[in-house]
Amino acid sequence: MKKNNSSALKPTTTSLQVRRFRLSFLYAVPIGVLGGLIGLGGAEFRLPVLAGTLNYSVRQAVPLNLAISLITIAASLIIRGSTLSLSQVIPLLPVVFSLITGAVITAFFGAAIAGRLSNEQLERIILMLLVVIGIALIVEGFLPQQIPALLPPALSWRIPAGILFGLAIGLVSSLLGVAGGEVIIPTLVFAFGADIKTAGTASLIVSLPTVLVGVIKYASRGAFADRTLLGNTIAPMGVGSVIGAIIGGMLVGIIPPRILKVILGIILNISAFRVFHKVKSSNGK
């Protein structure tokens, strides 16, 4: 009887892995396209897919999202570095390094903080952060593209402020598994007066070490011990995200980014409530 039961489980496990592989790629491409259209990686939209459609627990979904974000950031930096001059980022380097300093600190401790939270607490925090990001996208759609910097140009103001902003960015990154561009870009534009293109490039530079530290920390806690995760989710979703981002970058201008941000902000709020309210309800049964 035991042999029959074990053999019956194998097709189920295999079919689940195949299903995850296919859906990971199929969902990643359009999410990557939308992210490319608005200049973000789309990680905030991947998280509800990982926790909902692909049926991962929240504790699995966050490190998976972080690993996929690392792939998309590396690819985006390579693509952007070959098409844009990085010289525009040089005046922002003191701010960039201060953001990295703060972000790396909380990215390192974020995984440990997430490990101490109960499932219900983690789900509630994730839902709250996704709603805040969704609202931020909607608000950004109505704001002017360039406004005067809110902070004075003196480094005595900018470096401490950058570290403080970085602490918040690293915590959001490690708790959601995102690159943080949806937080970093508005911070650079509105707080430090960077133009949107420079902010996009600087955001990738800040995100790379932040996400890398988060991935290493989650890996040390055994988040990637199951090697099948690489083949059936991380690789296909990473490749799909990169392909989608390239297509999205080529389609920039077809849909006004302002309108798209408002629409995506609404979609993010709806999907976050549907997925994480559903997760919470199922856990409560």
- pLDDT at res. 10: 46
- The candidate with the shortest Cα–Cα distance to 60, out of 281, 279, 282, 284, is 279
E strand or H helix at 22? helix 2-38
**Model pTM?**
0.84
What are 220-248's pLDDT values in tens digits?
998 999 889 999 999 999 999 999 888 88
Lowest mean pLDDT among 123-132, 177-186, 214-223: 177-186
Chain-centroid distance, C-alpha 153: 29
With helix as H, strand as E and coil as C, how does 56-98 read?
CCHHHHHHHHHHHHHHHHHHHHHHHHHHCCHHHHHHHHHHHHH
Pair 186, 125: CB distance under 8 Å: no
**What is each CA distance from 134 to 127, 179, 236, 262, in whole angstroms?**
10, 15, 26, 8
Judging by beta carbons within 10 Å of its beta carbon (0-12, 13-18, 19+), is residue 151 exposed, middle or buried? middle
**How many Å apart are CA 227 and CA 166, to the nearest integer?**
32
Residue with more model confidence, 7 or 57: 57
- pLDDT at res. 8: 46
Calculate ∠ Cα 44-46-50, nearest 5°.
125
Does the structure show a pLDDT above 80 at 116? yes
Q: What's the mean pLDDT in 49-71?
A: 92
